[in-house]
Chain A
Amino acid sequence: MSIGTSTVKTPTGVLEVRNLETRFHSKLGPVRVVNNISYTIHQAETLGIVGESGCGKSVTSLSLMRLIDPPGEISRGQIFFEGKDLLELPESQMEGIRGRDMAMIFQEPMTALNPVLTIGQQIDEQIIRHKKVRRAEAKERAIEVLNRVGIPSPEQRYLSYPHQLSGGMRQRAMIAMALSCHPKFLIADEPTTALDVTIQAQILELIQSIQSQMKMSVQFISHDLGVISSVSDRVMVMYGGQVCEIATTQKLFRHPRHPYTEALIQARPQLGHRVARLRTIDGVVPSPQELPPGCPFQNRCSRVKQECREFNPPLTTPAENHLVACHNPVAG
Chain B
Amino acid sequence: MNSPLLEVKNLKKTFPVRTGFFLRQTGEVKAVDDVSFVIHPGETLGLVGESGCGKSTLGRSIIRLYEPDSGEVKFQGEDFLAHAGARLRQARRNMQMIFQDPAAALNPRMTVGQILAEPYKVHRLIGSGERQTKVRQLLSTVGLQSSDVNRYPHEFSGGQKQRICIARTLALEPRLIVADEPVSALDVSIQAQILNLLKDLQEKFRLTYLFISHDLSVIAHVCDRVAVMYLGKIVELATRDELFANPKHPYTKALIQAIPRIGDGKLVIKKSLSGEVPSPLAPPKGCAFHPRCPQKMDRCSRDIPILAAAPGIPNEHQCSCWLLDKEVPK
Contact = CB atoms under 8 A, between A and B. Distances in A.
B102 interface: no
Contacts of B254: 198
Contact of B217 (A200, A226, A284): A226
Interface stretch (A31-39, A101-109, A272-280): A272-280
B124 interface: no
Interface in B58-82: none
A278 B217 CA distance: 12
A271 B255 contact: no
A271 B259 contact: yes
Contacts of A250: 264-265
A247 B136 CA distance: 46
A89 interface: no
A230 B267 contact: yes
Interface string B240-258: 0000100000000011111
A270 B188 CA distance: 12
A267 interface: yes
Given A249-B265, A267-B192, A271-B244, A229 B260 contact: yes
A233 interface: yes
B157 A284 contact: yes
A263 B260 contact: no
B328 interface: no
Nearest to A267: B192
A299 interface: no
Interface residues of B, number: 46
Interface stretch (B22-30, B174-182, B193-201): B193-201
A198 B266 contact: no
A202 B221 CA distance: 25
Interface string B248-286: 000000111111111111111111111011000000000
Nearest to B279: A166
Contacts of A215: none
Contacts of A230: 260-261, 263, 266-267, 269
A271 B266 contact: no
Contacts of A166: 276
A112 interface: no
A261 B187 CA distance: 14
Contacts of B191: 267-268, 278
A116 B157 CA distance: 36
A53 B187 contact: yes
B220 to A, nearest CB: 5
Interface in A180-203: 196-202
B218 A227 contact: no
B118 interface: no
Given A53-B187, A224-B260, 11 more contacts: A200-B260, A230-B260, A231-B266, A254-B264, A264-B188, A264-B189, A269-B218, A271-B256, A278-B196, A278-B221, A281-B192
Interface of A: 46, 52-53, 166, 168-169, 196-202, 204-205, 208, 223-227, 229-233, 248-250, 253-254, 263-265, 267-272, 274-275, 277-281, 284-285
